[in-house]
Amino acid sequence: MRGLPQAQHAIRPAPLPHAVIDRLIELRQFYELPVGLFLYDTVAIAEKAERLVGSLPEWAQIFYAVKANSFPPILRALAPVVAGFDVASLHEADLAAQAACATGRSARLVSSGPGKTVSHLQGLLALDVELINIESTLELQRLARLTEAQGRRAQVAIRVNPSRQRRAGFLTFGGRPTPFGVDEDTIGSVLAAADKMANVVVTGFHFHEVCNNLDAASHVAYVQWCLDWSAETAARYGIELRVVDVGGGIGIGPDDEPSFDLGVFAHKLQEVRSAGCQIVLEPGRYLVAEGGYYATEVTDVKQTLGKWFVVLRGGINHFLRPAVGDYAGAIGVVPMNRWNGAHTRPGVSDALVTVVGELCSPHDVLARDLAVEEIRAGDLVVFSKAGSYGWELALQGFLGHPPALRITLDPLDG
């Protein structure tokens, strides 16, 4: 861009699908108030899930991690494709069960997360959760008492916190203190406690050691390590190994970096020694990130002490992720011709801008020193790859501004 200041990133006319732009323009014409919304392409999300599921061997199953995006239309789109849902709360479990029911299916649920209370475990049993990933001896004891009182059995996997990183690049959570799981070195005592519980059956192990991994080959190596460790440990303690839950961690990177190579992953996964058990993968971000967009209206463009600020209808109360890092999407602008002629329309061209929200907080900054060709009050700023950890992660209650809307490309679905 000739004459444009230097910056690491730039706001430019958004390289968005025509259907997304058309829907945003339609919505802006419909809503009188400034727009702040998430727009989801449920068809694209389901198609990506189909590609992943279709690439796996029979012994591997996908349980979508609901924490990434719990919007009911997305869950309904995924329900016919994935084997089930990974849930971290009773609320998520209820949403997943409703989505499965709406598509004429029985919900298959795997439950994860630390600190499961008695009421939480009781709710999981009421929903007939297929597998409960246990994080401590106390959780085992709570579950054992409940199952004994109800005269029923529950299948569990023990979440393992590995004692050290096994290989640089793929085991990123292990080897340090964490509130998650049971230390590898103490797994024997937990299994001994479980062995005395007649109504709780340990059927496998749970791992979640990888986050946003873009290296397909290393992810297969991680899966193989989980399987080898589980098979060896099961044999040592007399466990009939039926399932190994390797968690999520398949990543989404920036547009200018290589993406996760599904072909390499599928090919190398065929060579994995499966130990004769079922593998559960819990992708979240990978399935939904690219199918979502956060669009918000520019409410003001102003300059203070020589620095330009673009003020948005929504900030960290709508979309926290850009403010805290680990956000891989591009930021674009969709020009809007609609403007109230009674007011002067502020804007700026060929400048560096800091993009902020409407909150009375210095933390409400979504991007700093972005180069713009032109941006005006009333235009829409659009964040791509916003389908994961967007609406769910935001600080929606802070200051009480209206929350972001959630809408799909199909008007009948949102």
Contacts of 224 (CB under 8 A, 6+ apart): 272, 273
Return the pLDDT at 327: 84
Return the pLDDT at 168: 43
Retrieve residue 158's tokens: 């023990």
Q: Residue 107: is its pLDDT beyond 70?
A: yes
**Backbone φ/ψ region at 169: left (φ over 0), alpha (ψ -120 to 50), beta:** left
Return the pLDDT at 177: 67
Q: pLDDT higher for 21 or 165? A: 21
Residue the block writes with tokens 């300059």 = 303
Contacts of 159 (CB under 8 A, 6+ apart): 112, 133, 134, 135, 180, 181, 182, 205, 206, 207, 208
Q: At what angle do helices 216-237 and 187-195 cross, to 10 degrees?
A: 50
Contacts of 271 (CB under 8 A, 6+ apart): 220
Tens digit of each residue's pLDDT (9 = 90 or more) over 115-127: 999 999 999 999 9
Query: Which of 145-159, 182-196, 306-320 is predicted least confidently?
Result: 182-196
Spatial distance between the Cα atoms of 213 and 248, rounded to a whole number of angstroms: 9
Return the pLDDT at 219: 94
Q: Residue 172: is its pLDDT beyond 60?
A: no
Q: How confident is the model at residue 14 (pLDDT cuts 50, 70, 90)?
A: low
Cβ–Cβ under 8 Å, residues 14 and 404: no
Cβ–Cβ under 8 Å, residues 283 and 65: yes
Return the pLDDT at 393: 92
Average pLDDT over the chain reads: 89
Q: Residue 64: is its pLDDT beyond 70?
A: yes
Using alpha carbons only, what angle is made at residue 409 by residues 356 and 393, rounded to the nearest 5 degrees?
40
Tens digit of each residue's pLDDT (9 = 90 or more) over 255-275: 878 889 999 999 999 999 888
43-288 classified as CATH 3.20.20.10:
yes
Paired sense of beta strands 278-281 and 243-245, if any: parallel
Return the pLDDT at 1: 29
Q: How confident is the model at residue 176 (pLDDT cuts 50, 70, 90)?
A: low
Classified as helix, coil or strand, 194 is helix
Comma-separated ranges of CATH 2.40.37.10 domains in the chain: 10-41+290-408
Return the pLDDT at 412: 60
Q: Residue 5: is its pLDDT beyond 80?
A: no
Spatial distance between the Cα atoms of 198 and 373, rounded to a whole number of angstroms: 68
Spatial distance between the Cα atoms of 158 and 105, rounded to a whole number of angstroms: 28
Tens digit of each residue's pLDDT (9 = 90 or more) over 309-361: 999 999 999 999 999 877 888 898 999 888 877 889 999 999 999 999 999 99
Comma-separated ranges of CATH 3.20.20.10 domains in the chain: 43-288
Return the pLDDT at 4: 34
Q: What is the pTM of this model?
A: 0.92
Spatial distance between the Cα atoms of 70 and 38, rounded to a whole number of angstroms: 13
Q: Give mean pLDDT, residues 214-232.
A: 94
Q: Give mean pLDDT, residues 383-412.
A: 90
Closest CA to 73 of 398, 391, 400, 403: 391
Helix (H), strand (E) at residue 36: strand 36-40
Count CB-CB contacts under 10 A for residue 29: 10
Closest CA to 247 of 280, 205, 285: 280
Beta bridge partners of 39: 293, 407
Q: Residue 170: is its pLDDT beyond 50?
A: no
Please report, rounded to a whole number, the percentage of residues in the chain having pLDDT higher than 90: 74
User: Using CB atoms within 10 A of its CB, is residue 167 exposed (0-12), middle (13-18) or buried (19+)?
Assistant: exposed
Q: pLDDT higher for 384 or 210? A: 384
Retrieve residue 262's tokens: 């599904």
Q: How confident is the model at residue 8 (pLDDT cuts 50, 70, 90)?
A: very low
Q: Residue 174: is its pLDDT beyond 70?
A: no
Contacts of 87 (CB under 8 A, 6+ apart): 66, 93, 96, 109, 110, 111, 112, 129
Spatial distance between the Cα atoms of 261 and 2, rounded to a whole number of angstroms: 35
Query: Which of 20-34, 92-106, 138-152, 282-296 is predicted least confidently?
Result: 20-34
User: Which CATH architecture best describes the domain 10-41+290-408?
Assistant: Beta Barrel (2.40)
Cα of first residue to Cα of last residue in the chain, in angstroms, is 38
Tens digit of each residue's pLDDT (9 = 90 or more) over 198-212: 999 999 999 988 888
